[in-house]
């Protein structure tokens, strides 16, 4: 499987945008690790060459190599030599680490952040989404309809739909913000059950949201997205351990 099979160029541009943190090593590990966990870099994906990665991320080769070693030691990447060699996303990936207690304790704040980002994205997508972006979103929504029995595949396609909405705004900052918030939500959602009835309800909300975006109805898009996000918050409130 290649990166192109699940990820558009826009989302990968966000993954490989210049690192600006003072802790470049940690941010590089976090960004690549999140992209792998969300399926933006699917198992088997070959990463760009070190020289290209350094240029795109804006970091020193020594920093990149430290990050790649760390991700290799954690089982997320593997390196091969010789013809056809390079650095690849591991297949299969290691089991996901459980969310930290701090994340679980602050789950409502995570939902608040998601609400702010996703509603804004929905409004701008309704204003700016072009025909190609809309078709991509509808294709992803259609795929979700067929995945009720495979939550891992469903979640990856769901992430791609939400990142695709951010891509439709034309804002790389919003693509990065959406990727980050989806990573946080994935950690929380992994702690609860995923009955098909819940996924079916989410699919209905997706259809209403995309219909509003297609009509260029910004208020309706904001309303539908807010309902969608709050539905997830309610389910987390009911099913998260200790809430």
Q: Tens of pLDDT along 184-197?
A: 999 999 888 888 99
**Domains located in the chain, CATH noted:** 3-89 (1.10.10.10), 101-239 (1.20.120.530)
* Whether pLDDT at 181 is above 90: yes
Residue 6 confidence (pLDDT):
42
Q: Among the listed ranges 3-12, 41-50, 120-129, 165-174, which one has the minimum average pLDDT value?
A: 3-12
Given a cut of 80, whether residue 174 has pLDDT beyond it is yes
4-47: pLDDT as tens digits: 444 566 677 778 777 776 588 888 888 898 888 888 899 999 99
Stronger pLDDT, 52 or 26, i.e. the higher one: 52
Mean pLDDT of 71-83: 89
Query: What gap in Å lies between CA 140 and CA 124, rounded to an integer?
Result: 19
Whole-number Å distance between alpha carbons of 108 and 242: 13
Find how far residue 60's CA is from the centre of its chain.
26
């Amino acid at each position: 499987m290649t990166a192109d099979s699940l990820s558009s160029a826009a989302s990968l541009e966000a993954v490989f945008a210049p690192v600006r943190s003072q802790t470049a090593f940690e941010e590089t590990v976090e960004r690549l690790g999140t992209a792998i966990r969300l399926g933006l870099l699917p198992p088997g994906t070959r990463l760009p060459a070190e020289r290209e990665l350094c240029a795109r991320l804006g970091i020193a080769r020594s920093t990149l190599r430290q990050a790649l070693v760390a991700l290799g030691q954690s089982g997320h990447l593997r390196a091969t030599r010789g013809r056809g060699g390079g650095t690849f996303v591991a297949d299969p990936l290691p089991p996901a680490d459980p969310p930290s207690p701090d994340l679980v304790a602050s789950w409502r704040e995570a939902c608040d952040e998601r609400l702010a980002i996703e509603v804004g994205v929905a409004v701008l997508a309704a204003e700016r989404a072009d025909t190609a972006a809309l078709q991509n979103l509808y294709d992803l929504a259609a795929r979700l309809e067929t995945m009720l029995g495979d939550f891992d595949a469903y979640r990856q396609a769901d992430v791609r739909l939400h990142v695709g909405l951010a891509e439709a705004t034309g804002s790389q900052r919003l693509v990065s913000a959406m990727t980050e918030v989806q990573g946080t939500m994935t950690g929380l959602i992994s702690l609860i059950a995923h009955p098909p009835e819940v996924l079916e309800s989410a699919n209905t909300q997706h259809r209403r949201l995309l219909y509003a975006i297609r009509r260029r109805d910004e208020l309706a898009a904001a309303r539908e997205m807010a309902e969608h996000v709050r539905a997830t918050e309610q389910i987390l409130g009911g099913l998260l351990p200790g809430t």
